[in-house]
Structure 1
Amino acid sequence: MKLVGISFAEFQTCHLLLCVALALSFNQVSTTNETDRFVLLQFKAGIIKDPFGVLNSWNNSIGLCQWYGVTCGRRHRRVTVLDLSSQGLSGSISPHIGNLSFIRELLLQNNSFDHKIPPQVSQLRHLRILGLHNNSLIGEIPKNISGCVDLVMLLLGNNQLIGEIPGDLGSLLKLRWLNLYANNLTGSVPSSIGNLSSLEILYLTQNNLGGSIPQVLGHLSNLHLLGIGFNRLSGTIPSSLLNLSSLIMFDVARNQIQGTLPAGIAHKLQDLEFFSVTENQLQGPIPPSISNCTKLDVLQIGSNKFSGKVPSWENLFKLGRFQIFGNQLGSGKPEDLSFLCSLTNSTKLEYVSIGKNKFSGVLPKCLGNLSTTLKAFSATTNQISGELPKEIGNIVNLEVLFMNLNHLSGVIPSNFANLQNLRILQVSHNNLGGIIPSFLGNLTKLIELHMGGNNFHGQIPSHLSNCQSLYLLDLCNNNLSGAIPPQLIGLLSLAIILDLSRNHLTGVLPIEVGNLRNLNVLDISNNLLVGEIPSSLGYCIALTSLRMGGNFFHGSIPQSIMSLGGIEELDLSRNNLSGQIPKFLAIFRSLKLLNLSYNKFEGRLPREGVFKNATATSIVGNNELCGGLQEFHLPNCISKSFKSTKINIIIFFAFVIPGVLGMALHVAIIYLHWVKKNVNEPNSDFAYLNHVYISYETLLKATGGFSSTNLIGVGGFGSVYKGIFEDIGVVVAVKVLHLNRPSALNSFIVECEASKNMKHRNILEILTVCSYNDHRGPYLKALIYKYMKNGSLKCWLHPCTTSSHGNRLSKKLNFIQRINIAIDVASALYYLHHQCRVPIVHCDIKPSNILLDAEMVAHVGDFGLAKFLDTLTNQMSSVVRGTTGYIPPEYAMGFKASKEGDVYSYGILLLEIFTGLSPTDHTFRDNLTLHNFVAKALPEQVLEITDIFLLQEREGNLDPYSRWHLFSESDGIFQECLVMMYNIGVACSYQVPERRRCISEVPHQLRQIREKLLELGLHE
């Protein structure tokens, strides 16, 4: 029998040989597969932290090709991809990794590996992508890494690598992406990089590289992105580099580069979108040819030594960011600013900065024709004269206007009333005059107003108090007169500086000054103020600098000043203050400068604290003081003579004894009245100083008999009702404790005690409490709060069934509202943890405990589980404090309440705010949590995890997969802000408490993100 020309016997022989070959092949595959298994288990042995348990699957129960993060080839079943990125792993990279001979992609980025890169990596000859960026790797880049001859992407950025960039990298001829940014690399940029003819991205920013830019980089004909900024590079920019027609991004900012920009710089750079040479030593004129780079989005040439006339930019139609500040541009001629009119062709312009130059002349009226997309305009520190053009009022989306330190005159134009989006206005140190226009009070988005150093006169308009977001106000060194408006000095938002110094203000300092609980600096010095220092100043517990010198204040220093525990500078000089210097000034640990000179203080000068330092303390001009250190040159305090002692004894018997008897009689009458009152009335225990009395009957009437129609919500320890006190027109929220619940009474006591120690803009204030008792025992205990019109954050993030919220449930929070809420909550936690006299841990941060007022300002409430840190012991706790999903993992293991526990809850809250997902969502099961869900998605999938409403808020369609999206007009910055936001949430919610971010860093970081978003045009 024949089969296609061969006999059956021959066919059987071939079949047998084939079977033997397959068996041998299978045995070989099995053997080599075991090599990969051994390597991976050695890699696992080097991991000391695996918070998400991703390596738990690396065991013998399943094949290694099914292990998490492992991909095998179809043919040989060898490991070709190891992807463990963004898993929070800590430890070292095993040198055995060099035996994964078939691997093509090794992706370990966004973890916490903290040892050296093993040199055995060089054995991976098939490796195409090595991703080790965003770790904590140390040591040098392996010099033999050139052994990875197939490398296409080498990503080692954002580590702690040292040493020089190996010259042998120039032999990796397939390399297209070299990213070594944000390390501590030294030496020079190797000229061998010029051999990498396939290189598209070279990113060496933020190192300590020196020397000059190699000429041979001009041979990289495929180079799209060149980032070598933030180093110590010197010399000149190679002309060959500026002839690369492929360049899209050119960034050499913050180096020491000298020379000039060639006149024909733009002849080849037709695709250039990003050009930055900021903060170097370049000089000469700005080449007019730059205007031919018609695709430019970012042009930054600030902080150099450029001089001469600024060319026209009429061809830069796509320009979004224009920055030439800090040069020597301008000639002192009226036409210096004519180039601004050419920017009217840039219809996407958002940022213009021309400050710190030598521009003269007047601002052209064409400013009013700049794109309505313009968000920021800065011309600070020039020699600009004339009036502010009223046409600026046409730029209706303007948010930042810096015109300080010029020679401007005239008044603030009335057209500025159109700038409803203005957030920062700086016109200080000019020659502006007239009255401060009241329409500024209608610019309700203002957060900073700088008008000091001008010639404004008249009264301070009380309308400024309408700017409810204002946290900095500088009106110093003008000719203002009249009284300080109580509405303004009581503005709760003021948190950085209130400077009214060097004016002619009269009257008293209003007691409303006590509302400035978040203010850091208060300066009212050198005015004509009179009266006593109000005791309400003691409520300004965030003050670090208080300057009241050069007025006519009289009386003594109030005891309430003792509450200013963080004060660093206190100036009460040149007043008419009297009495003894309070001893509490000597116990202020933070006080560094104290000026009490030229008053009428008397008695003994303390010798402790700041009084130990004669250079930091001034007491001259107080002639009745004695004692103190020798450096103060005061007379000794003389003890009283025997004669004066006898006189005092006579006075004692003549006047004091009868007075004591009279006082005793008075106290007895008060006591009898109190006993009678308590026989006839139930005991009411209510608010603290200045709080009104609320009876049980009044409370019953205000809530409609605790009607279900007034029910706002129900919690673990109580029900909350809306109440209206009609006789005084006040709306409140009433929390009635469920006294039959375990720990409810303790919750009531804790919240009352916490309230006595807290005063902050972002903490829900208890107005009063009602504790009603009769002879049979507790009957009612209630807490009365300010009513929060916009309810809880929970009902803005998720469906809410509470009927009292009405149609508000259909609304959604936009991006800026969400970040404002995140800042508010972080600020409250920072205050609780670091600024309270006794630090407090909240223990239950979650959306339902975040309340929003009518202005959408967030207030942290419900301190029923709070703990005072000074009462915590080092013992373990058997009570798990908090709410499922927000409880830090260490609490479940019995650890005591801590600041880090609050930070964990805050991190989860932050992730929830921007993903729109609750940590108890059905999505999160099988060990998947909101934390690792977000961490795993960063940064590539950041848009996919974000609440869809926030993406719809952006104008136009986002393209997250666009190759150059980071350098597009605004989408890249939007995504970058999202990634930064999520990184904060992830960093706050790590499993291990010691790794969590300190809450003190968070508000500032979030404000920086907010400013970036505001520049993009996002708004409330």
Structure 2
Amino acid sequence: MTLKLNPFHTPKPLRSRQSQPQMYQRVTILDLSSQRLSGSISPHTGNLSFIRKLLLQNNSFNDEIPPQIGQLRRLRILGLHNNSLIGKIPKNISGCLDLVILSLGNNRLIGEIPGDLGSLLKLRRLNLYANNLAGSVPSSIGNLSLLEILYLTQNNLGGSIPQVLGCLPNLHLIGIGFNSLSGTIPSSLLNLSSLILFDVAHNQIQGTLPAGIGLKLPDLEFFSVTENQLEGPIPPSISNYTKLDVLQIGSNKFFGKVPSLENLFKLSCFQIFGNQLGSGKPEDLSFLCSLTNSTNLEYVSIGKNKFAFYATKNQISGELPKEIRNIVNLEVLFMNLNHLSGVIPSNFANLQNLRILQVSHNNLRGIIPSFLGNLTKLIELHMGGNNFHGQIPSHLSNCQSLYLLDLSNNNLSGAIPQQLIDLSSSAIIMDLSCNHLTGVLPIKVGNLRNLNVLDISNNLLVGEIPSSLGYCIALTSLRMGGNFFHGSIPQSIISLGGIEELDLSRNNLSGQIPEFLAIFRSLKLLNLSYNKFEGMLPCEGVFKNATATSIVGNNELCGGLQEFHLPNYISKSFKSTKINIIIFFAFVIPGVLGMALHVAIIYLHWVKKNVNVPNSDFVHHSHWHISYETLLKATGGFSSTNLIGVGRFGSVYKGIVEDIGMVVAVKVLRLNRPSALNSFIVECEASKNMRHRNILKILTVCSYSDHRGPYLKALIYEYMKNGSLKCWLHPCTTSSHGNGLSKKLNFIQRINIAIDVASALNYLHHQCHVPIVHCDLKPSNILLDANMVAYVGDFGLAKFLNTINNQRSSTVKGTIGYIPPEYAMGCNASREGDVYSYGILLLEIFTGLSPTDHTFRDNLTLHNFVAEALPNRVLEITDIFFI
């Protein structure tokens, strides 16, 4: 009898023996996989003596594996992977002599791998990956002559690889990477003609690769020895792996010449970075010509060797190899920081799939070829630090996905092409600094709605600063120093509320320094030196920090901090706009909750506006690439000590990427959860279409797969030092963000957070090219940086308004307490639904009460609770202290 249970089903009571004939039915299959179950696995499973398949994978079972499972003599398949099981692997599992598949991967098991598993002579698959198992790999596994798959990756195993593994004639897959194994690779293992996948990456394995390695493994598709201590030359026979898809031998001590790879027709990933290959001569790169037969090639990493692609920071000289034109599927080419000379070869126009081209900091010359405009898939173009001359080609405007353009530190001249400013659909970073550009900054610069960094410093530009710059609301860095701009700073710059760096130095600007610069909370660096500014210097905001503000060379300024050494000037006390706002809220709006209501009214006023400002499509592709190995190291192997929080579709970890010294937040999707993959896709798609100072930035993504399919998908965000708003309103004790915060938000902070969230919603609803509805606005999705600036995050349930059909939804999306009532009746997601959630959020911010608090029952809601308290008991229900 096959039994697939529904955990929510209540069985009917059994009839008495007198009313029902006696029947003997035996449970042979118990499948409870992916049912969101938790708790312990019942020891009574040991009573299912006739069971052949026990499938409990993809749940949240914890506690130990009950040893009673060892009593199941007929058991053939045991699936417990993707749970949270702890303790040791019961030794008596070896009593299940009929076992064919034993899968315990992705749990928290400890101890050693029982040597008794070697008695399971029928075993074909042994999966123990991603646990905390220690000790050595038992040599008794060599007894399992039928074994096809051995997967022990991501444990703490030590010792050497047992020689007897080379005696397993049916072994197709061996994965023992990410452990602490040492010694050499048994030669017998590399003679197994049945091998398809061989992965021993990230260990401390020594020795060399056998010269005849390519003669023994005819079916090999995946070969990885990355991050070990192997040395010697790369055997030329490796070219015989005609079925090879992935070849990874990076971060070892290989030396000598890279052999021809002309027979690797199916190769898609080639990685030899971080070795001692080559001799610094041009002929070192001859192997690249042999790769032209690999028409599936997508990823090449050859950097940090002695040749010079990911050929960054080598010593390559000469011209760019024309043979690269034959790698028609090439997507990424890194050849920056070398000694290349000559011009960009015209046959580079063949690279129609190229997405990232980095040739910066070389000695390249000539004009920037216009055919680059035909590479329409380009998302990054790095050409800075060369000797290019002539004008910027207007054809670059054809690259409508281009979001990073670096032409800095060249000899370019002429005006900035108007067409270049038409890259409004994608441009995020534009660096044209240190050239000889002339003319004015085009007024159309305001179309660059998603522009994050604009650097046009050290050119010969003239005219006034265009007021249209105020439309570039995503700007965090604006550098215009070292030109001939004149006039005053336009009032429209007040819209750049997320600006962090503003450099207007060494121009001919005049007038008073605008007081609104003092209320920019995010502004960290301000350089107004060597202009003709006059009048009183503000004393608030960035002007409080003499090391972050430079105003030298403005002889008509006065006042300010003593550190600026300006003459005194008596005038009315400076009152920042921020203080005026506080006074307005404190005295004009009656009561603190009235203030919250006023904020909501301001937002609703935004909602009702006809926002007809064109905002083009934003296609976001991350320019920072991060590997699974780097993520693993950054998070301490996704250690629980780095766990920030757990959500519906995944867990979030704090990570430190040592290579760049950056702290990040890593959201790892639980791919076994229903809709988790869809959530990942939605969040990535949403990220392509938005850019705002109050929306949490996705820095990059990591998608790791093996031969079985997706293994890990992760989103990497900016790390928010002050955690989530939830942990400030309701102190968290389980998050490394919160640590049981005892501090409370003050009045001003709550106002600022409310305004920040409203600003983000207004952008999502009306300023995105494709309007977005968040669908899950709540305190845990509001993150706070070191300056208590609020960011809206987690767009896994977001909806695009232009793709929502007219059919009603059968499932409620969102979180109980914040979902608008109409969603429960199947209505489509809408802007109004987000506004409802925002209203609940406002009440929670100013009362400190959650809408799901135990106080609210029997038809009492947070909304009703507040309404009944108005206007007489406002102060009783507020959660605010004043400063």
Common topology (TM > 0.5): yes
Change (3 A) 1:472 1:116: farther
User: Does residue 269 of structure 1 match 2:217?
Assistant: yes
Q: Deviations over 1:545-604 (max 9, x none)?
A: 222233233333333333223333333333333444444334333333333444444555
Structure 2 CA distance, aligned partners of 1:748 and 1:596? 37
One-letter amino acid of the structure 2 residue matched with residue 566 of structure 1: G
Q: 1:834 aligns with which of 691, 695, 711?
A: 695
> Are 1:499 and 2:431 matched, yes or no?
yes
Question: Does structure 1 residue 428 correspond to structure 2 residue 360?
Answer: yes
Contact 2:297/2:330 (<8 A) preserved = no
The equivalent of 2:730 in structure 1 is none
**Separation in 2 of the partners of 1:603 and 1:433?**
47
* 3-state SS, counterpart of residue 337 of structure 1: helix
Q: Which amino acid aligns with 2:145?
A: S
1:459 deviates by 1.0
Within the candidate set 545, 548, 560, 2:492 is matched to 560
1:317 and 1:213, CA in 2 relative to 1: closer, same or farther beyond 3 A?
same
Structure 1 position 478, deviation (Å): 0.8
Give 1:172 deviation, angstroms.
3.3
Is 1:535 aligned to residue 396 of structure 2?
no
Does structure 1 conserve the Cα–Cα contact (< 8 Å) formed by 2:485 and 2:508? yes
Deviations 1:77-96, CA, capped at 9 Å, x for gaps: 22111112233444443333
Q: Residue type of the partner of 2:770?
A: H
Equivalent residue number for residue 313 of structure 1: 261
Distance 2:82 2:225 in 1: 26
- Is the CA contact (8 Å cut-off) linking 2:298 and 2:329 kept in structure 1? no
Give CA-to-partner distance per residue, 1:936-986, whole Å, 9 cap, x none: xxxxxxxxxxxxxxxxxxxxxxxxxxxxxxxxxxxxxxxxxxxxxxxxxxx
Give secondary structure in 2 for the equivalent of 1:339. Answer: helix
Distance 1:589 1:285, change over 3 A: same
Between the aligned partners of 1:260 and 1:627, the Cα distance in structure 2 is 72
Could you say what secondary structure the match of 2:423 adopts? Answer: coil
User: Which of 35, 54, 70 is residue 122 of structure 1 equivalent to?
Assistant: 70
- CA, structure 1 residues 61+303, in 2 after alignment: closer, same or farther (shift >3 Å)? same
**Aligned match for 2:251, one of 303, 317, 324:** 303
Asked if the contact 2:259–2:287 (Cα under 8 Å) also holds between the matched residues in 1, the reply is yes
Matches of 2:40 and 2:759, distance apart in 1: 38
Q: 1:889 aligns with which of 812, 815, 818?
A: 812
Range with bigger deviation, 113-122 or 256-265: 113-122
Aligned counterpart, 1:755: 611
Q: Secondary structure at the match of 2:213?
A: coil
Asked if 2 retains the 8 angstrom alpha-carbon contact of 1:751 and 1:866, the reply is no
Partners in 1 of 2:538 and 2:86 — Cα distance?
Answer: 53
Matches within 5 A, 1:682-831: 751-753=607-609, 755=611, 761=617, 823-828=684-689
Residues 1:100 and 2:48 are matched in the alignment: yes
Contact 1:751 1:863 in 2 (8 A): no
Q: What do residues 251-308 of structure 1 show as CA deviations (whole Å, max 9, x unaligned)? A: 1223333332233333433332211112323222112232334433322212222111
| CA offsets 1:624-663 (integer angstroms, 9 cap, x no match) | 5555556x3534734269xxxxxxxxxxxxxxxxxxxxxx
Is 1:407 equivalent to 2:339 in the alignment?
yes
Alignment map for 1:944-955 (pairs within 5 Å):
none
Tell me, what secondary structure is at the counterpart of 2:214? coil
- Whole-Å Cα distance in 2 between the matches of residues 627 and 188 of structure 1? 72
**More off after superposition, 593-602 vs 237-246:** 593-602
Aligned pair 1:469/2:401, yes or no? yes
Letter in 2 for 1:476: S
Aligned partner (choices 525, 532, 550) of residue 593 of structure 1:
525
Q: TM-score, normalised by structure 1?
A: 0.56
Residues 748 and 864, structure 1, Cα contact 8 Å, conserved in 2: no
Preserved CA contact (<8 Å) 1:266 1:292: yes
Matched, 1:634 2:565: yes
Matched to 2:695, the amino acid is H
Q: CA deviation at 1:243?
A: 2.9
Q: 1:260 to 1:517 in 2, by over 3 A?
A: same
* Cα distance in structure 2, aligned partners of 1:215 and 1:629: 74
For the residue of structure 2 that corresponds to 1:226, the secondary structure is strand
Preserved CA contact (<8 Å) 2:775 2:829: no
| 2:317 equivalent among 377, 385, 388 | 385
User: AA paired with 2:70?
Assistant: S
Q: Summarize deviations over 1:5-25 as a string: whole Å, max 9, x none.
A: xxxxxxxxxxxxxxxxxxxxx
CA distance in 2, matches of 1:636, 1:146: 87
- Give yes or no for contact 1:825–1:858 (8 Å, CA) kept in 2: no
Pick one of 39, 55, 58 that aligns with 2:7.
55
In structure 1, C-alpha distance between the alignment counterparts of 2:761 and 2:355, rounded to whole Å? 33
Deviations 1:168-222 (A, max 9, x none): 4444333221222234444544444344333221112234444443444334333
Structure 1 CA distance for aligned equivalents of residues 51 and 691 of structure 2: 47
The C-alpha deviation readout for 1:893-943, integer Å capped at 9, x for no partner, is: 774449x99xx9899xxxxxxxxxxxxxxxxxxxxxxxxxxxxxxxxxxxx
Distance 1:517 1:244, change over 3 A: same
The 1:400–1:122 alpha-carbon spacing in structure 2 relative to 1, beyond 3 Å, is same
Is 1:762–1:859's contact at 8 Å kept on the other side of the alignment? no
Matched residue of 1:338: which SS? Answer: helix
Larger deviation, residues 198-207 vs 344-353: 344-353
Gaps of 5+ in 2: 16-21, 573-602, 620-678, 697-754, 783-789, 793-800, 831-851, 853-883
State the distance in 2 between where 1:162 and 1:756 align: 60
Query: Residue deviations 1:211-257, cap 9 Å, x none?
Result: 44344433433321111223343443333332333322111223333
Q: CA deviation at 1:396?
A: 4.4
Contact 1:129 1:153 in 2 (8 A): yes
Quick one: structure 1 residues 842 and 405, their matched pair in 2 at CA, closer, same or farther if it must change by over 3 Å? closer
8 Å CA contact 2:212–2:237 kept in 1: the answer is yes
Q: Distance in 1 between matches of 2:156 and 2:269?
A: 28
Measure, in 1, the Cα distance between the counterparts of 2:512 and 2:86.
60
CA contact (8 A) 2:282 2:318 kept: no
1:577–1:601: 8 Å Cα contact kept in structure 2? Answer: yes
* Residue ranges of structure 1 left out of the alignment (5+ in a row): 1-32, 45-53, 64-73, 361-376, 642-746, 764-817, 852-856, 873-880, 908-991, 993-1020
Matched residue SS, 1:492: helix
Q: 1:292 aligns with which of 228, 240, 243?
A: 240
Match of 1:457 in 2: 389
Deviation, structure 1 residue 457: 0.6
* Change in CA separation of 1:380 and 1:393 when aligned onto 2, cut-off 3 Å: same
Distance 1:312 1:425, change over 3 A: same
| Inter-CA distance 305–519: structure 2 relative to 1 (3 Å threshold) | farther
Cα distance in 2 for partners of 1:166, 1:449 equals 54
CA distance in 2, matches of 1:497, 1:138: 47
Q: Residues 583 and 105 of structure 1: is their aligned pair in 2 closer, same or farther, counting only changes over 3 Å?
A: farther
Kindly, what percent of the aligned residue pairs are identical? 75
Q: Distance in 1 between matches of 2:404 and 2:759?
A: 28
For 2:438, give the aligned amino acid: T
1:115–1:541 Cα change, 3 Å = farther
Q: CA offset at residue 314 of structure 1?
A: 4.1
- Taking the aligned partners of 1:625 and 1:138, their CA distance within structure 2 comes to 68
The answer to whether the 8 Å contact 2:297/2:329 transfers is: no
Question: Is 2:177 the partner of 1:225?
Answer: no
- Structure 2 letter corresponding to 1:57: H
Question: Structure 1 residues 574, 115: closer, same or farther in 2, change over 3 A?
Answer: farther
Aligned residues of 1:821 and 1:858 also touching (Cα < 8 A): no
Higher helix fraction (1 or 2)? 1
What residue number does 1:354 align with? 302
Secondary structure of 1:889's partner? coil
Aligned-residue offset at 1:315: 4.2
Shift, 1:105, TM fit? 1.3
Change (3 A) 1:135 1:437: same
Aligned pair 1:328/2:276, yes or no? yes
Find the structure with the greater CA-based Rg.
Answer: 1
RMSD across aligned positions (CA)? 4.6
Moved more, 462-471 or 267-276: 267-276
> In 1, Cα distance between the equivalents of 2:811 and 2:97?
46
Q: In the aligned structure 2, how far is the partner of 1:164 from the partner of 1:417?
A: 56
Q: 1:468 Cα deviation (Å)? A: 1.3
